[in-house]
Amino acid sequence: MNQIILLRQTLKPLLGWHGARLNFLALFLIALIRVKTINLVELATGFRSKAKTESNYKRLKRFFRNFDLDYTVIAKAIVTLMDIPQPWAVISNEEPSLQTLWQYDLRFRVEELFLDSKSGAFELEESRIRDSKSLERLYLVVALALLFATTQGMAVQIQGLRTQVDPHWKGGLSYLKIGLRWLIMSSP
C-alpha cells in the first residue's frame, strides 16, 4: 500500500484532521524519511506530489509559521500507535509531584529525540529555525517520522525481511535504521 495513503488512514482517526492537512503531514513525513534532513530547501524536493518544489517549500514555511498543534492529541496518538498499555508509572528517587513528572517528561523527550535524530536520521543540526513554536512543530513531525520508521523496522523484522535492507544483520542496526532503509527502498 502507498505509504502516504497508509499514513493518512492511520492518522485520521487519531488526529481528526481534514484531508488536506492529513495529506500534507503524510507528504511531509515521507519526504523527511526520503531526504533524511530537516533543511527545508532539501526537504521540499522530497515531496512526491504534482506541486513544484518552490510551492512545497512555501507550504513548509507556512506550516512552521502558522500551524497550531494540539500536543495532547498528538501525544495520545503516539501512545495509541505505540500500543503502550496503561497504567503508566514513573519510578524516581525524587519527591513525587507534577513538577517531577514534568521534568522526567521533558528529559525523556529531549534525550530520546536527540539520540535518534543526531544518529544520522534527520540531521537536526541542519535546521535554521530559531522560533520556539516552529521548533516545537519541527520536533513533533520528527517524532512522528521516528515512530513511523521504527514501527516499519519492527514490522520488517517480524516478517523476516530484515536481510533485504540489512544483509549483515549481525551488525546491529536499530529498528529505526531498518525502517528508514525499508521505507526508502520501497518508495516509488
> Grid coordinates representing 44?
521540499
Report pLDDT for 1.
46
Per-residue 3-state assignment (H helix, E strand, C coil) for the chain: CCHHHHHHHHHHHHHCCCHHHHHHHHHHHHHHHHHCCCCHHHHHCCCCCCCCHHHHHHHHHHHHHHCCCCHHHHHHHHHHHHCCCCCCCCCCCCCCCHHHHHHHHHHHHHHHHHHHHHHHHCCHHHCCCCCHHHHHHHHHHHHHHHHHHHHHHHHHHHCCCHHHCCCCHHHCCCHHHHHHHHHHHCCC
Q: What is the mean pLDDT of residues 48-53?
A: 86
In whole angstroms, give the CA distance from residue 3 to residue 41: 22
| Integer angstrom CA distances of residue 59 from 47, 49, 54 | 11, 12, 9
Q: How confident is the model at residue 55 (pLDDT cuts 50, 70, 90)?
A: very high
| Report for 47-61, 72-86, 166-180: range of highest mean pLDDT | 47-61
**What is the Cβ-side half-sphere exposure of residue 76, based on CA atoms within 13 angstroms?**
8
Report pLDDT for 18.
86
For the segment 63-119, what is each residue's pLDDT rounded down to a tens digit? Answer: 888 877 777 787 788 778 777 677 766 677 777 777 877 777 666 655 555 666 555
| Of 47 and 48, the one with more pLDDT | 47
> CA 140, 69, 5, 85 torsion: positive or negative?
positive
Q: Is the pLDDT of residue 53 over 70?
A: yes
Q: Whole-model pTM?
A: 0.70
For the segment 111-169, what is each residue's pLDDT rounded down to a tens digit? Answer: 555 666 555 677 766 777 777 788 778 888 888 888 888 888 888 888 988 888 888 76
| Of 53 and 74, the one with more pLDDT | 53
Which residues, 6+ apart, have CB-to-CB distance to 100 below 8 Å? Answer: 90, 92, 94
